[in-house]
Amino acid sequence: MPGLLRECQSAIWRIKGETLQLDGRSLVMGILNVTPDSFYDGGRFQGADQAIEHGLWLAKAGADLLDVGGLSTRPGSTPIPWEEEAKRILPVIAHLSSHLKIPISVDTYRAEVARLALEAGARIVNDVGALRLDPEMVSVVARSGAGLVLMHMRGVPLTMQQDTHYNSLLEEIFSFLKERLEFAKSFGINEEQILIDPGIGFGKSAEQNMEILKHLESFERLGRPILVGPSRKSFIGHVLDQPSENRLWGTLACIGVSFYHGARVVRVHDVKETREFLEMLEAVERGKT
Active-site annotation holder among 115, 123, 154, 233: 233
Indicate if 267 belongs to the active site.
Answer: yes
DSSP, res 29: E
d(CA 75, CA 157): 5
SS3 state of residue 171:
helix
**65-69 and 194-197 strand pairing:** unpaired
User: Which residue among the candidates 110, 264, 267, 275 is catalytic per the annotation?
Assistant: 267
Q: How far is CA 90 from the centre of its chain?
A: 19
- Distance, CA of 156 to CA of 277 (rounded, Å): 33
Closest CA to 217 of 180, 259, 278: 259
- DSSP symbol at 216: G
Is 180 assigned a catalytic role? Answer: no
Residue 216 phi, psi (nearest 5)? -55, -35
Catalytic residue positions, numbered = 233, 267
